[in-house]
Structure 1
Amino acid sequence: MAKRKSIKKKVNREELAKEKFFKLNKKSDENDASVWFKRGMDVSDPEKKLACFKRAYKLNPKFEDLLFQMAEVLFQAGKKDEAFELFDMIFAINPDSENAFLNKGAFLFEDGRDEEALELYARAVILYPENDWMWVNRGNSFSRLENYEKALECYTRALEIDPKAAETWFSRAGVLNTLDRNEEAIEAYDRGLALNKKIFEAWHGKGAALQKLKRYEEALEAYEKALKLNPKLANLWISKADMLQMLERDPESLKAYYKALEIEPDNFYSLLASARILMRYSKFQDALNYADAALKCSPKSLEALKIKGDANYFLGRHRRALQAFNKILAISPKDPEIWISKGCAANYSGSFEEAIESFDMAFALGSETSSARAQRGYSFQELRKYGEAIENYDRALTLDPENLKIWNSKGVVYSYLKEYEKSFECFDKLLAIRPDDFSALNNKGTVLYDLEMYEEALECFNRAFEINPNFREAKKNRQITTGILKEKKTS
């Protein structure tokens, strides 16, 4: 007799696993609510947990611990209304349930419903005045509603009940920190840390309180301890970096900001702070890169745009600098410093009329500086409006007689006007104070050259070249003048 071919059935593995999961040891267990409750407690999968709890609920709808656990699972699954309905059921079974007051209040707090939580805890602390966590949770809601004095009263009461509760000390310290009662905050952090040194938030909070008291070294030490406990939190690295800046330890500060950015590459604060430090160290391209990254996070950041403008300016990319300054002025048109920066960028872009308009806006806004006046003078100089240039240079010197570079600029303009005596007078005033000013020496030499006083001119060019051998203009003028003097000798 021939064998019949067996038919292979496709097995649903999920169904098989589910069947195995729900298989109980004894048939009688199917009707035991406590068994289903225990199975629900033993599994981690929320759906399986809830399925077990529902089986238990059908068997015993007044099982208080079961209702608590069901509420927890439903709340975490986002089914908050169903979770709160279960608390109503618990209160219907036991109107004075201590756990129901505590847990419902905690869920209300987590859901941001602080007023309702406080209403609940007001009843709870009358029924259970010695339950310190009722007072702590009540304090937390007061704190979030910015009723800090009430929060402190609650934490104080909780600590009278249990003075060894580290977390309560930390909650109290946090409120004191917010109120700038920093010495008291530090004392509270220390009390809590004596009980539990492994809470990084406490070290972080203590560091913030110490920082506000300008106890920077101690603050840094606290931040370091926080980082040992949690080195993967960007905000801790930022706090450390900020503190290092306060201590003028910029290179270390920059490294700490970089660590924060390894964790959160789009952290705007760290990107901007890094750009700021790099600008101080004249690392303009790097600063520009970080400013651009910061602007991707916050396109209208005025500080990031300013760094972008300044970095491009110092890199000689004056048109790009001008674009950045224009973006700032579109957002904040009454910032005189930006109008001055725009004027300088416009000057070096060859947009002299635009530069003059920018400086005029800055002056109208009440910011007339010597350097801005000098730049405005340069605008007129390049437009060959020499009278206006001299007027601006004179005004710049009135504002700051120590701005010696202006004498150099005035000397050049007088030479263009062929007022050579005045020109020499300007150069000599500068060189009497700063005899190694190679630019003034070169410019004086140029005027002497124009007057065919070649030997005197060569002396100036030689001196300028000795001071700065990389000064190409002086080198070139020196060669030309030397050539002329040689021709004169041979002729």
Structure 2
Amino acid sequence: MQLSNEEEDYNLSLSKFESMLKTNKVLFFDSEEFEEIILHYLDMGKAALAKKALKLALEQHPKSTGLKLVQVEMLVYDDKLELAEKLLNELYAIEPTNEEIYIQKANICSKRDQHEKAVEMLKIALQYTDDYADVYNLIGMEYLFMDNLEMAKESFIKCLEEDLEDQSALYNVVYCFEFLDQNQEAITYLNKYIDQNPYSEIAWHQLGRLHYGVKEYENAIRAFDYATLIDDEFLGAFMEKAKAYERLKKYAEAIESYSRTIELDDATSYALLRMGKCYEKLGNKVLALKYFNKTVHEDPLLDKGWIAITDFYVRQKNYQKALFFVNKALAIDNQNRLYWKRFATINKQMNFFEEAEFGYRKAVEFGDYGLDTWLFWVDILQFLGEFESAIQTLLQASEYFPEENEVEYRLAGLYFMIGQNTKAKFHLSNALRLNFDNYILLEDLFPVVWKKKMVQNYIAKHKK
């Protein structure tokens, strides 16, 4: 690929400057060459070289406004705001219509968190600039700092009207739409943008994301398809397309898209995990397990990978292996209530009731307040003969479920078991009021209580 004359000159200037530094010979550069050299080093994060170039530049061109503005930029970068402001005021006296002076004044205001004042400066810069897109982009960023998303959005739209190719402005305008919960408006905007710039893979990708967000998965896939046609190495678009296919239960197509992401880059544990899930949905257990194992091989600290294998073996009713893998997940994240619930459920299936009770207790401790978790836990406590603990647990559950008949029937049964008949009748009365027909729970869970004549009479009395 041939370089343009400008690129050749730029590379020659850089080579010439670096050669000068090595030989200690002082060579002449015009002020614009120096500006490009200094900005190149700043962009590369080589501040020391940028400062050295600026010192030499000002020695050769002491009156250059452009170089002094670069000096201001470097002072602002170093947080020397007072010095920068003083120099800007001197430059303003010489060139009051130079837009860069107002842009740097805005930069200083922004650093001081004076964002409204920064916008005022940038609006003055608009009167003198030829690069409207850049100034509108800067105004948009100031509005973002002020959390004024509506004005930020308008500014980024104006930026794109001036320069359709400004990708950062495109990302920012979509961000504003999404933050304002204006997904449909964003879709409308992007469709208009694409009419003007149909080969923007970024716009197609963002359009796909928005369609996905509002559950329009077919439209999302169509948009991602265009993005990958324009750029056949657009990894993000292939990944998003795969997710949309999964939502439509088109698992073979999803696998194909996930596979493409692995071809384009190193395999990610996320893609491998999703491929395993897709193969399982297709009924291919061998390949499902293969990809789950690849997931944890790729990232041994990915707890979701170990849980995927756990769930796979639970579905196969191979609880011994499931227990081994859920313990792997818990070794990585031992405060995850969902993992503790799996641990409890697996142990329960294996008749390890003390371990199951411990698992349910930990699940609740880490925030699982689902009714079924409380009830499983209590039923195991009852099975273990820990009636008092079961009662205390149910009273705790009743704070979350004050009108739940299953809690009340169990409290009634447990109080009868320990001979506290007054409390038992109180809770039985509540249970019968909430759901009379569910009294069968007493027969299932507390056969000894069910046979008591007092209990039978109490239920009969409520039936009348």
Normalising by structure 1, report the TM-score: 0.57
Which amino acid in structure 2 is aligned with residue 18 of structure 1?
H
CA distance in 2, matches of 1:39, 1:230: 44
1:58 aligns with 2:158: yes
Tell me the CA shift for residue 304 of structure 1.
3.6
SS in 1 for 2:300: coil
Q: Which runs of 5+ in 2 are unaligned?
A: 1-111
CA distance in 1, matches of 2:159, 2:445: 78
1:333 aligns with 2:333: no
Q: Deviations over 1:347-403 (max 9, x none)?
A: 647466567899xxxxxxxxxxxxxxxxxxxxxxxxxxxxxxxxxxxxxxxxxxxxx
Aligned residues: 347
CA distance in 1, matches of 2:374, 2:441: 23
Q: Which is greater in Rg? A: 1
1:254 aligns with 2:354: no
Q: Which runs of 5+ in 1 are unaligned?
A: 1-14, 359-491
The match for 2:329 among 207, 222, 226 is 226
Partner of 2:207: 104
Partner of 2:394: 291
The match for 2:184 among 70, 81, 95 is 81
CA distance in 2, matches of 1:55, 1:157: 37
1:236 aligns with 2:333: no
Partner of 2:115: 18
Which amino acid in structure 2 is aligned with residue 255 of structure 1?
F
CA distance in 2, matches of 1:356, 1:24: 84
1:209 aligns with 2:312: yes
What pairs with 1:116-265 in structure 2 (closer than 5 Å)?
Answer: 116-121=219-224, 123-124=226-227, 130-162=233-265, 164-178=267-281, 181-264=284-367
| Greater shift in the superposed pair: 160-169 or 82-91 | 160-169
Partner of 2:62: none
The match for 2:134 among 28, 34, 46 is 34
SS in 2 for 1:164: coil
Which amino acid in structure 1 is aligned with residue 223 of structure 2?
L
* CA RMSD across the alignment: 4.3
Contact 1:172–1:185 (CA<8 Å) still a contact in 2?
Answer: yes
Contact 1:139–1:155 (CA<8 Å) still a contact in 2?
Answer: yes
CA distance in 2, matches of 1:345, 1:232: 38
CA distance in 2, matches of 1:242, 1:287: 18
Tell me the CA shift for residue 218 of structure 1.
4.2
Which amino acid in structure 2 is aligned with residue 315 of structure 1?
I
CA distance in 1, matches of 2:402, 2:250: 36
Tell me the CA shift for residue 314 of structure 1.
0.8
Tell me the CA shift for residue 75 of structure 1.
0.3
What pairs with 1:435-446 in structure 2 (closer than 5 Å)?
Answer: none
Which amino acid in structure 2 is aligned with residue 333 of structure 1?
D
CA distance in 1, matches of 2:140, 2:241: 31
CA distance in 2, matches of 1:184, 1:138: 21
Contact 1:169–1:191 (CA<8 Å) still a contact in 2?
Answer: yes
CA distance in 2, matches of 1:350, 1:49: 68
Normalising by structure 2, report the TM-score: 0.60
When residues 173 and 268 of structure 1 are mapped into structure 2, their CA distance, relative to the original with a 3 A threshold, is: same
